[in-house]
Amino acid sequence: MPTIKIMDEKMKLSVVMPVYNEVHTLKEVVTAVLATERVHEFLIIDDGSTDGTRELYSEIQNMDDSIRIILQAKNQGKGKALRTGFDNATGDIVIVQDADLEYDPRDYAAILQPIEEGKAEVVYGSRFRGGPTKTMFFLNMIGNKFITLTANILYNTILTDVETCYKAFKREVIQSIPLRSNGFDFEAEVTAKVLKRGYRIWEVPISYNGREYDEGKKIQPFKDGPIAIWCLIKYKFVD
């Protein structure tokens, strides 16, 4: 039986959260993240919000000493905001958090466990491995399945959820990967480049409470899906 290397359970966690026009959910998400009592560093990257979100930051900054707020001058996309966060992260583990209420920070413990036990360097929280979920839009689900299938064929793996928000990395792993995507194509690019470098991605089940488009859901399957497919193909051959 292989020996499991148990690592320090108090590995420092950096949470990277891109924010764009989330005035109605931001404070609740920040509160939920802090309630995990696992956060060493909470990087909030505002991607040019114009809906009143920025007026909340003076209050949010005072919620905890771990919070660092970075304001981008204009909207450049989720991928750009994440790249800014990764560049500024200092924790042992870096995890991505969306600023809506679709993903529950109480799932952090399960996501971080494989890294803390020395089993994994990259972990994805999957919405398709049996966790409790609100039903998704059919077209979004089909698009995600097709993107994931493409990744599995191209990179010889068996992932179930490439497009998940919850991605956790050892900091040295994510900071060593040259990322270029500015938009939602980040999910495909980072998956391709992680797999090309020989890291096997662990998946754990998570809960999911998908929001409606009138609640602010931003991803568009007919627009963003083909871009993600193209990224998976492109990064198979270039870096």
**Tokens at residue 163, please?**
């497009």
Give me the domains of the chain, ranges plus CATH numbers. Answer: 13-237 (3.90.550.10)
The pTM for the full model equals: 0.90
Q: Which residue intervals of the chain are DSSP H helices?
A: 26-35, 57-61, 78-88, 108-116, 138-155, 171-176, 186-196, 221-237
On whether the CB atoms of residues 97 and 33 are closer than 8 A, the answer is yes
219 has pLDDT over 70 = no
SS3 10: coil
pLDDT in tens, 142-173: 888 999 999 999 999 999 999 999 999 999 99
Place of tokens 């924010």: 19
Per-residue pLDDT reduced to its tens digit, 59-77: 999 999 999 999 999 999 9
User: Percent of the chain at pLDDT above 90?
Assistant: 82
Residue 153 tokens, joined: 């064929």
Segment 88-120, tens digit of pLDDT: 999 999 999 999 999 999 999 999 999 999 999
d(CA 204, CA 3): 21
Q: What's the average model confidence in pLDDT over 34-43?
A: 98
Q: Please, which residues have CB within 8 angstroms of residue 236's CB and are 6 or more apart in sequence?
A: 154, 155, 192, 196
DSSP secondary structure string, 82-102?
A: HHHHHHH--SSEEEE--SSSS
pLDDT band at 139 (very low <50, low <70, confident <90, very high): confident
Task: Check pLDDT > 70 for residue 134.
Answer: no
